[in-house]
């Protein structure tokens, strides 16, 4: 391989590529280049075409027209394994791990080292995996089963899998959305090291701060078209957001006045594995923010309030009466709603239409005499499709054909449609673009203004600050502080959450852009 041709052509080039799906132009005359040793960020709203671009580069889709050049030579990337053999490797937005087998086998899936007789050489496999994981700074046991790992560890394995191959180009589609801050840092260190080695990296993210942290160049997609490509040093976050959304995104003053006369829900020293003696009161129309690092018990709090996890001590009360939740059904009957953090697996009916997904929680409300009245369901879904700008052809489009962030919106819509008295939301805007994030915030604020009490669990401080009437900080399963709006500051929360010092702030994102 002569390096004479250096700079003559980019490592990877996309020329005038168009890709349509029935009724949608996902990419329209897209041009894009990736140089060796470059980190190139692709940003844009939900449904802008980012994942589609990645999937064309990784051989999942074929472009309708246009061409792809590798080292200046036109190539047709036939399928994902062909892409791999060309040195283009992908870390998927959805995990593509096999849950029931070990980490090592997942990492070396179908490339496991074999001994004589073609049997898998387990020793070498374990050892190679251990070395790889160590070199990536990952603390995961190669023999552990993937299904026993935390979601963030699974993500790391997914990434390790990509790096076990001979790579020239790495494609990452929203790799950071389920990672803690520490893990994000480690991943970024890793990516920078790869850049040093001359590998080209394409990364999709919705976090503007990350883009500027990492990328050399930034390409903005909107409605399947390239708005522009800039060098990171030539642009700034505000400019970037405007070019993504096509307008300025304003977010301020969601908080409404509160009448603290009545109490909807009260927790008295509730405990459960991961949570001990947590107490709080919740008033109608109040948004109670819950902050905490990964493992602080913030997820457990959401689960226990929805009956997904049993109380081992303490008491929950609703409307002054003791509340013993036997499960989610019971919770829903009492007017409690829950938007889970893992919306892809616990929230979506993939093969069903947007309409059916939205009304899933409201079947009773749109039925009469045991019959579903479709016109009501259609109207309800149409309303939320507009309100949340759910980018789609119609409410009858199957959810499986929506972009990742758009799918998230559908789950959020289901719960907004149900209008519970108490709504627990766990990281409602992960993977959702800046513009839509502001819309979801507005909707949550509207809901609370109409009397719904909201427990807002979030890893994003800015989100907590814009919405909460009060923030409760958790550490090690205990409440370590309650802050009122005048006290809201990154530093205060981080100090409480991390226990005395603002270092080691894993699991929290504080993005101000």
Burial of residue 356 (number of CB atoms within 10 Å: 0-12, 13-18, 19+): middle
Q: Name the 3-class secondary structure at 364.
A: coil
Look at residue 389 and give the partner it binds from other proteins, ligand ATP, Mg ion, none, a contact being a CB closer than 5 to 8 Å depending on partner kind. Answer: other proteins
Q: Please pick, from the candidates 142, 175, 292, 340, the single residue that binds other proteins as defined by CB under 8 A.
A: 340
Q: Give the residue with the Cβ less far from Mg ion, 422 or 432.
A: 432
Token readout for 269 is 């020293």
Burial of residue 15 (number of CB atoms within 10 Å: 0-12, 13-18, 19+): middle
Look at residue 52 and give the partner it binds from ligand ATP, Mg ion, other proteins, none, a contact being a CB closer than 5 to 8 Å depending on partner kind. Answer: ligand ATP
Which region among 46-54, 215-223, 469-477, 504-512 touches Mg ion (by CB under 5 A)? 46-54
Which region among 186-194, 269-277, 280-288, 328-336 touches other proteins (by CB under 8 A)? 328-336
HSE (side-chain half, CA atoms, 13 Å) at 350: 7
What x-and-dash track marks residues 17-36 binding other proteins by CB under 8 A?
----xxxxx-----------
389: alpha, beta or left, given left = phi > 0 and alpha = psi -120 to 50? left
Token readout for 199 is 């590998």
In the chain, what is the straight-line distance between the N-terminal and C-terminal CA atoms, in Å? 43
Q: In angstroms, what CA-CA distances link 414 with 331, 351, 384, 398?
A: 16, 16, 9, 15
The contact set with ligand ATP (CB under 6 A) reads 21, 24, 26, 44, 46-52, 391, 401-406, 433
Q: Please pick, from the candidates 33, 51, 205, 219, the single residue that binds Mg ion as defined by CB under 5 A.
A: 51
Tell me the C-alpha distance between 111 and 114, whole Å. 9
Look at residue 143 and give the partner it binds from ligand ATP, Mg ion, other proteins, none, a contact being a CB closer than 5 to 8 Å depending on partner kind. Answer: none
Q: Which of residues 192-221 bind Mg ion (CB under 5 A)?
A: none
Q: Which of residues 392-431 bind Mg ion (CB under 5 A)?
A: 403-404
Q: Please pick, from the candidates 40, 168, 206, 391, the single residue that binds other proteins as defined by CB under 8 A.
A: 391
Q: Give the residue with the Cβ less far from ligand ATP, 333 or 393.
A: 393
Q: Are 498 and 490 in contact (CB under 8 A)?
A: no
Which region among 48-56, 178-186, 362-370, 384-392 touches Mg ion (by CB under 5 A)? 48-56
Which region among 105-113, 187-195, 350-358, 458-466 touches other proteins (by CB under 8 A)? 350-358
Backbone dihedral angles phi then psi of residue 358, each to the nearest 5 degrees: -70, -40
Look at residue 370 and give the partner it binds from Mg ion, other proteins, ligand ATP, none, a contact being a CB closer than 5 to 8 Å depending on partner kind. Answer: other proteins
Q: Give the residue with the Cβ less far from other proteins, 51 or 102.
A: 51
Q: Please pick, from the candidates 372, 451, 484, 489, the single residue that binds other proteins as defined by CB under 8 A.
A: 372
Tell me the C-alpha distance between 142 and 196, whole Å. 27
Q: Does 100 bind other proteins (CB under 8 A)?
A: no
110: alpha, beta or left, given left = phi > 0 and alpha = psi -120 to 50? left
Look at residue 161 and give the partner it binds from other proteins, ligand ATP, Mg ion, none, a contact being a CB closer than 5 to 8 Å depending on partner kind. Answer: none
CA 125 to chain centre: 31
Match 């697996």 to its residue by tokens: 345
What x-and-dash track marks residues 257-276 binding Mg ion by CB under 5 A?
--------------------
Q: Are 385 and 359 in contact (CB under 8 A)?
A: no
Q: Give the residue with the Cβ less far from other proteins, 69 or 360.
A: 360
Supply angle C-alpha 103, 95, 32, rounded to 5.
120
Q: Give the residue with the Cβ less far from other proteins, 91 or 411.
A: 411
Backbone dihedral angles phi then psi of residue 458, each to the nearest 5 degrees: -150, 150
Q: Which of residues 136-165 bind other proteins (CB under 8 A)?
A: none
Q: Give the residue with the Cβ less far from other proteins, 195 or 418.
A: 418
What x-and-dash track marks residues 352-371 binding other proteins by CB under 8 A?
x---x---xx-xx--x--xx
Tell me the C-alpha distance between 52 and 171, whole Å. 12
Strand partners, 44: 221
Q: Are strands 217-222 and 39-44 parallel, antiparallel or unpaired?
A: parallel
Burial of residue 129 (number of CB atoms within 10 Å: 0-12, 13-18, 19+): buried
Beta sheet of 65-70, edge-to-edge order? 24-34, 12-21, 65-70, 73-75
Q: Give the residue with the Cβ less far from ligand ATP, 41 or 128.
A: 41
Q: Does 329 bind other proteins (CB under 8 A)?
A: yes
The CB-of-128 to other proteins minimum distance in angstroms stands at 33
Q: Are 56 and 202 in contact (CB under 8 A)?
A: no
The answer to whether the Cα torsion of 64, 70, 73, 76 is positive or negative is negative
- For ligand ATP, the nearest residue by Cβ is 405
Q: Does 386 bind other proteins (CB under 8 A)?
A: yes
Neighbours of 451 (CB within 10 A): 13
Q: Which of residues 275-314 bind other proteins (CB under 8 A)?
A: 306
Q: Which of residues 403-432 bind other proteins (CB under 8 A)?
A: 414, 418
Burial of residue 211 (number of CB atoms within 10 Å: 0-12, 13-18, 19+): buried
Q: Give the residue with the Cβ less far from ligand ATP, 61 or 415.
A: 61
Q: Please pick, from the candidates 119, 351, 491, 503, the single residue that binds other proteins as defined by CB under 8 A.
A: 351
Residues that bind Mg ion in the complex, under the rule CB under 5 A = 51, 403-404
Contacts with other proteins by CB under 8 A lie at 21-25, 61, 223, 306, 328-329, 332-333, 338, 340, 345-352, 356, 360-361, 363-364, 367, 370-372, 385-387, 389, 391-394, 400-401, 414, 418, 435, 439
């Amino acid at each position: 391989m002569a390096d004479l041709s250096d700079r003559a052509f980019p490592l990877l080039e996309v020329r005038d590529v168009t890709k349509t799906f029935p009724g949608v132009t996902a990419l329209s005359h897209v041009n894009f280049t990736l140089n060796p040793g470059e980190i190139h960020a692709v940003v844009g709203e939900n449904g802008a075409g980012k994942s589609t671009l990645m999937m064309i580069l990784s051989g999942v889709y074929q472009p309708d027209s246009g061409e792809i050049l590798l080292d200046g030579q036109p190539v047709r990337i036939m399928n994902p394994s062909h892409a791999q053999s060309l040195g283009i490797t992908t870390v998927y937005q959805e995990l593509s791990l096999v849950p029931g087998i070990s980490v090592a086998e997942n990492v070396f899936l179908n490339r496991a080292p074999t001994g004589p007789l073609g049997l898998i050489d387990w020793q070498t496999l374990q050892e190679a995996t251990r070395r790889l994981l160590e070199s990536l700074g990952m603390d995961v046991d190669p023999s552990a089963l993937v299904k026993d790992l935390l979601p963030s560890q699974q993500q790391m394995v997914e990434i390790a899998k990509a790096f076990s191959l001979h790579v020239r180009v790495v494609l990452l589609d929203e790799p950071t959305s389920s990672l803690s801050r520490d893990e994000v840092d480690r991943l970024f260190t890793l990516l920078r090291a790869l850049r040093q080695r001359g590998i080209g990296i394409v990364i999709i993210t919705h976090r503007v701060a990350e883009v500027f942290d990492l990328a050399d160049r930034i390409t903005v997609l909107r409605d399947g078209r390239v708005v522009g490509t800039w060098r990171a040093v030539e642009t700034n976050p505000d400019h970037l957001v405007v070019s993504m959304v096509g307008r300025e995104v304003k977010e301020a003053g969601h908080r409404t006045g509160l009448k603290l006369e009545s109490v909807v829900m009260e927790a008295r020293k509730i405990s459960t594995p991961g949570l001990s003696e947590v107490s709080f009161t919740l008033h109608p129309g109040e948004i109670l923010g819950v902050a905490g690092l990964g493992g602080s018990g913030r997820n457990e709090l959401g689960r226990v309030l929805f009956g997904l996890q049993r109380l081992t001590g303490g008491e929950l009360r609703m409307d002054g009466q003791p509340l013993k939740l036997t499960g989610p059904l019971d919770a829903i009957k009492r007017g409690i709603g829950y938007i889970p953090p893992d919306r892809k697996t616990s929230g979506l009916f993939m093969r069903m239409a947007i309409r059916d997904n939205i009304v899933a929680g409201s079947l009773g409300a749109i039925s009469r005499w045991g019959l579903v009245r479709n016109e009501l369901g259609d109207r309800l879904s149409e309303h939320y499709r507009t309100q949340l700008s759910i980018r789609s052809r119609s409410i009858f489009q199957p959810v499986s054909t929506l972009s990742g962030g758009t799918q998230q919106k559908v789950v959020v819509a289901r719960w907004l449609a149900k209008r519970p008295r108490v709504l627990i939301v766990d990281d409602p805007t992960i993977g959702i673009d800046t513009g839509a994030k502001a819309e979801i915030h507005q909707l949550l604020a509207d809901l609370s203004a109409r009397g719904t009490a909201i427990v807002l669990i979030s890893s994003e401080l800015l989100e907590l600050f814009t919405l909460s009437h009060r923030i409760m900080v958790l550490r090690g399963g205990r409440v370590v502080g309650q802050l009122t709006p005048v006290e809201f500051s990154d530093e205060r929360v981080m100090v409480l959450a991390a226990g005395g010092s603002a270092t080691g702030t894993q699991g929290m994102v504080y993005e101000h852009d």
